[in-house]
Structure 1
Amino acid sequence: MLGTSKSIFRRLLFSFLATVLVGLGISGLLISLFAREYIYDSKEEEMLRMAKKVNVAIQDYDKVNKRLVDQLVSLDQAFDTRIWLFDQDGKIVATSMKDEVFTGKSIAVSIADKVLKGKSAVTELQIEGLEDPMLSVAVPWGEGEEVYGGIILHAPIEGIEKTFGQMRETILWATLFGVLLSTAMVSYLSWSISRPLRTIERTAAEIGRGNYAERVHVDTSDEIGDVAQTINTMAEKLEKVEQERHHLEQVRNDFLANVSHELRTPLTAIQGFLEALQDGLVEEEEARQKYYAVMYSETMQVNRLVDDLMDLMKLENNEINLAKFPVDVGEVMGKVAFAFRAETEEKGIALHVELPDELPKIYADRDRVAQILKNFVKNAVKFTEQGEIRIRAEAEDAYVRIQVADTGIGISQEDVHRIWERFFKVDRGRSKNNKGTGLGLAIVKELVELHDGKWKVESELGEGSTFTVWLPTVASYRQTT
């Protein structure tokens, strides 16, 4: 990729320079051609005007004499150009120069014929005796329709060509300066493009190696900045995916470890008791019955774990269909309280049910609502050594709020957000005394979500806990449907 960036830099530099060179070259050539044509045209028009002025000045002379020659010399000095006169035979009869070396020489027949017919002519002449070609114009010499001959004004092309040479030299220097300036500008432009590309390349390489926390730092607001922002967004998503993957991996490992632990404890106890019975170490019938009771209890613990796991898997995979009907919350609360009455009395815990006079029915699955309450009350009984447990409900907006409050050991602030996780146990140090699968609250969370409800827990360590769920009423369900 780095080589590609360098290649982009070179391609940008060379392509821009080639464009500048070609552009300046074509512009210089066109300017030179148009300027040359413009100068020639302007010179020709100027010389034609001067030639016509010469004719006006000498049209009274139909023959060459001293006064005519003096007039030509005077006009030569005034117009700064050479003046020749030729007769109807096309021969030069007078010049504005003091030496008349060209007198008697003939003009080209084509020019002479054109001028004698009353027309003007423009041409470049290579005159014998002169090294440089001349730019010449010829107009008729005469008055009205009477033509005595022709008037030729000519100037050396050398001056015009010298002007062109200076112009070309100026264009060349301007082109050179433009190339240098363009090289600097294009180099900076190419660098400003390739530099962020190299930054993007390095960052992309780091992301490719798994460093998803890497970000592209490009301070441009163009398309390259958009690419950098897209890569940063992609890196953020990859980082979240990687964190989620690690989290899921940790959850999976914790799940396997917890399942293994929860299964190993009862299975180890069952195995030990069975080995003792098989080896005949327990002879008394009363002792054997105690062993059987313990093995039965441990077997039921394994069954509860398997049942809870199956319920949680079905809930998470949306494989459970709720049988929703109008449910009397007070009736369900009374049955749940009755189921735990004996256990609470055995521990010396007061169990209270608080209900208002009128409570709207909820639209829910009766058995699942009972399961939610049983999980709450079971945990309350498990973690409350003395005091009381209160089960209460009241209407709140479109919901019925159900609470189970206890005066138990409470939950620390570090653990309060984790109690809804699978296999998480608040009483980790006392789990041998208070057996449980650690799946109850995770199941409650899934069940409440299936009922379109809400949940909340409030707790202080050593003060007790209050678990609250909100389940929709029948009236609110009918309004939404």
Structure 2
Amino acid sequence: MLTSSVVTVLLGLCAVGLVISLFAKDYIVNSKSNEMIRQAKQVNLAIQNQKEWSDRSKEQLHFFDQAFDSRIWIFDLDGNIVTTSSKDEVNVGKIVSKEVINGVLNGEPAIWNQSDGFKEGMLSVAVPWGKDNDVYGGIVLHSPLKGMNETIAQLRETILWVTLLGIFFSFSVSFYLSWTISRPIQQIDKAAAKIAIGDYSERIQIDSKDEIGELATTINHMVEQLARVDLEKRELNQLRHDFLANVSHELRTPLTAMRGFLEALQDGLIEDGSRDKYYEIMYNETIHMNRLVDDITDLMKLENKEIDLVWLAVDVQAMMSKLAFKFQPEAELRGTFIHCYEDDNSPQAHADPDRLEQILNNLIKNAVKFTENGTIELKAMAVPSEGCVLITVTDTGIGISPEDQGLIWERFFKVERGRPVKHKDSSGLGLAIVRELVELHNGSIRVRSELGVGSAFEVRIPLYESRPYVQPLVSLAGVG
């Protein structure tokens, strides 16, 4: 760009300078010729009545010579030079060319370059000498070409300096423009090279508002998008790795136990009276694996948006009473009592009955599992101001530490701190499924817990407001 700009400006200025020089030369010569013709006519006015040449007449010619800075010749009809403005003129008696004579006799001025008889080139003009239609001869004025040549030379020198100045200016401007373009392009190239190797930390710092600035902004935005996609990809790969590792671990544990028991049974190492116990253990392990596979299937369907809800009006209190009745025997084995609070205005939720039951089933199951010799409270109440049904599952179990409360919703996360070994057999998918189901219902869930005191899970499900509340269809008699 720099070279092409300089060459273009150089050629342009040279062409303009050449044209100006040629036109200026013609203009100067034409202007000088017209001026000399006018001067020659003034000389004719002064001498048109003189046919004989006296000393006074020669003095008059000499005066015009000094005034016009031009040599003056006077010639007769035959072209013979009869007198001149110079006292030491050697051209007296010589003959003017026939072309000049014929032009003068026809009344037309003649212009030519004269060099014979002079030390330097002259610009010469000739006009008729006479009065009215009476022509005596012609008047010739010679002006040195040296002055005009010097003027033209000065003009050309000026054009040369202007050309050099133009080249310098165009070089400076082209260099600046080239630099302003090449520098950001180099930054873009550097950033592109880093992007090509997977480094998305580079940003292009270009503050201009032109097309390159817009390109840099677009590339920066693209890099941010690529960085975000790359981060999500790494996180997804990590999640996939963790998922496979957790699934492998969860399946390997019961499979290892079952394999050991089967080998012992196959080798006859177990007495007949103990076989039923081992069979029961293996059966429970298969149930655990089946539950794990079901949970993984549900979670994957939820995350892939493959579950469609059947929206109905659900009597939440009746559902909680039924689940309390279901888990009461298991709770009594742990010395725990389930209290299900009844409300005269049984709230109805806008939800899928099967999925809402799955949510409550997981929450109550966890409460029973981690509560011994305590109580579990189940409540459901309408909150019209928020347009939701507030469902609360509260227990007096071992609780959850503040550090773990934000992690319990992650897949395969298990709270290990402060929990007995017998509580560590869960898959870690129950609360992850609960959260996905609640969000699928456009609801929310949160936990309040304290170690050694207990936990309270609060679920908000949209309220069904298109029909009046009804009394619970199922009540839990004898519980609480």
The CA distance in 1 between the partners of 2:250 and 2:334, in whole Å, is: 26
How many residues align? The count is: 464
1:263 paired residue number:
251
Does residue 330 in structure 1 map to residue 317 in structure 2?
A: yes
Pick from 406, 409, 426 the counterpart of residue 420 of structure 1: 409
Q: Is the 8 A contact 1:212 1:236 kept in 2?
A: yes
Matches within 5 A, 1:208-357: 208-285=196-273, 287-354=274-341, 356-357=343-344
Q: Please, what TM-score do these two structures have when normalized by structure 2?
A: 0.86
Question: What per-residue deviation string (whole Å, max 9, x for no partner) do you get for residues 401-454 of structure 1?
Answer: 333333444444443333222211223674841222211222223323333333
Q: Is the 8 A contact 1:355 1:393 kept in 2?
A: no
Pick from 443, 448, 460 the counterpart of residue 438 of structure 2: 448
Decide whether aligned partners of structure 1 residues 447 and 95 sit closer, same or farther in structure 2, where only a CA change above 3 A counts.
Answer: same
Pick from 153, 162, 167 the counterpart of residue 165 of structure 1: 153
Q: Is the 8 A contact 1:124 1:133 kept in 2?
A: no
Decide whether aligned partners of structure 1 residues 88 and 410 sit closer, same or farther in structure 2, where only a CA change above 3 A counts.
Answer: farther
Q: Please, what TM-score do these two structures have when normalized by structure 1?
A: 0.86
Does residue 469 in structure 1 map to residue 456 in structure 2?
A: no
Q: 1:342 is matched by which residue type in structure 2? A: P
Does residue 56 in structure 1 map to residue 45 in structure 2?
A: yes
Equivalent position SS for 1:168: helix
1:367: how far off?
A: 0.3
The CA distance in 2 between the partners of 1:30 and 1:410, in whole Å, is: 98
Q: Is the 8 A contact 2:316 2:380 kept in 1?
A: no
Q: Is the 8 A contact 1:349 1:389 kept in 2?
A: no
1:191 paired residue number:
179
Decide whether aligned partners of structure 1 residues 268 and 47 sit closer, same or farther in structure 2, where only a CA change above 3 A counts.
Answer: same
1:86: how far off?
A: 2.6
Equivalent position SS for 2:422: coil
Equivalent position SS for 2:88: coil
Does residue 109 in structure 1 map to residue 98 in structure 2?
A: yes
Decide whether aligned partners of structure 1 residues 61 and 387 sit closer, same or farther in structure 2, where only a CA change above 3 A counts.
Answer: farther
Q: 1:442 is matched by which residue type in structure 2? A: A
Equivalent position SS for 1:415: helix
Question: What per-residue deviation string (whole Å, max 9, x for no partner) do you get for residues 192-235 of structure 1?
Answer: 43333333323322222222223333454433333333332222
Q: Is the 8 A contact 1:32 1:167 kept in 2?
A: yes
Equivalent position SS for 1:86: strand
The CA distance in 2 between the partners of 1:360 and 1:173, in whole Å, is: 97
Q: 1:340 is matched by which residue type in structure 2? A: F
Equivalent position SS for 1:282: coil
The CA distance in 1 between the partners of 2:418 and 2:26, in whole Å, is: 105
Let me know the Cα RMSD of the aligned residues.
2.8
2:478 paired residue number:
none
Question: What per-residue deviation string (whole Å, max 9, x for no partner) do you get for residues 33-72 of structure 1?
Answer: 2332332233223223322322232233345443332211
Question: What per-residue deviation string (whole Å, max 9, x for no partner) do you get for residues 320-346 of structure 1?
Answer: 222222222222222222222233333
Percent identical across equivalent pairs? Answer: 54
1:4 paired residue number:
none
- Deviation larger for 275-284 or 18-27: 275-284
The CA distance in 1 between the partners of 2:128 and 2:3, in whole Å, is: 59
The CA distance in 2 between the partners of 1:167 and 1:100, in whole Å, is: 34
Question: What per-residue deviation string (whole Å, max 9, x for no partner) do you get for residues 325-377 of structure 1?
Answer: 22222222222222222333333334333465446633321101111111222
Decide whether aligned partners of structure 1 residues 316 and 57 sit closer, same or farther in structure 2, where only a CA change above 3 A counts.
Answer: same
1:106: how far off?
A: 3.0
